[in-house]
Amino acid sequence: MNPTGLLEVTAVRRVTPRVVRVTFTGDGLADLQPWPDQQLKLLFPPPGHPVRLPSADDDVMRWYQAYLAIPAEERPVMRSYTVRGRTRETINVDFVLHPGPAGPATAWAFQAAPGDVLGRYGPDPAYRRPLSTADTLLCAGDETAIPAIASLLSEVDNAVVFVEVADTAEEQPLPGVRWVHRDGAEHGSRLLAAVRGVTLPAGSAAWLAGEASTVRALRRHLVERGLAKSDIEFTGYWRRRLTQDDAPTPEDLADAAEKLGDSAGWRGN
């Protein structure tokens, strides 16, 4: 499958007050094989310009170098998302409408309409991760992790799941999820408290995603409780007060180095 191409919006609907689900169609989607936690890059065109795609190349580093070679004024903004669902010809992507000043992806999602066009890179099978085979899988994340958690729940039946959202209006119909409401509390604080309070049997593994500092705190807590680092799959989807365009922090670099060190696969017992 060609890893890059154009996506056209066919439908837009508000799933919750803060989540917009956009349905896309595009060349190559019919050839895409599904797997859990399927991630892709979306390319948002700069104002006044159509989407300009780098030259197609199966090698991600060459593709990225071609992306950087696009003149800055024409280069699309790139953001990472997870496929929420799909049919043979379409994919759904959920956009969380974060409060405060809107970044390029949020601003686009607020106004998305059928006929709008974005670019994509992926989903790339090279980034597919194996499912955990642990007796119990703890999944914990915020609203940005819901698409990935939903796909994981479709494949495993041994999960204990906590999802932190703003309030009850942000809950989605996912069986077995224990919803944690911020209700004005600091982002991640109540999710961490919920995970601290759960009893996990021996042989458990964990999947963590969401705001990066919260993911680090959850992972640190689970390691202190005795889970091996190799049994914890973790991803910081976003950073407070920073975007994907900002330079990585020392913590980001440390996370990346550790994940590369575990690139042989997630053991998950």
pLDDT digits (tens, 9 = 90+) for 184-229: 999 999 999 999 999 999 999 999 999 999 999 999 999 999 999 9
31: pLDDT strictly greater than 50: yes
Tell me which of 124-128, 136-140, 264-268 is least confident.
264-268
Q: How far apart are CA 115 and CA 157, in angstroms?
A: 38
Backbone phi, psi, residue 131, to 5° = -75, 145
Asked if 160 contacts 140 with a C-beta cutoff of 8 angstroms, the reply is no
Q: Which domains does the chain have, with CATH numbers?
A: 4-126 (2.40.30.10), 129-261 (3.40.50.80)
Quote the pLDDT of residue 266: 34
Q: How far apart are CA 254 and CA 234, in angstroms?
A: 13
Q: How confident is the model at residue 264 (pLDDT cuts 50, 70, 90)?
A: very low
Q: How confident is the model at residue 54 (pLDDT cuts 50, 70, 90)?
A: confident
Q: How confident is the model at residue 269 (pLDDT cuts 50, 70, 90)?
A: very low
Q: How far apart are CA 121 and CA 6, in angstroms?
A: 9
Scan for tokens 């600091």, then name that residue.
186
Quote the pLDDT of residue 124: 83
pTM tops 0.85: yes
60-94 per-position pLDDT tens digit: 888 889 999 999 999 999 999 999 999 989 999 99
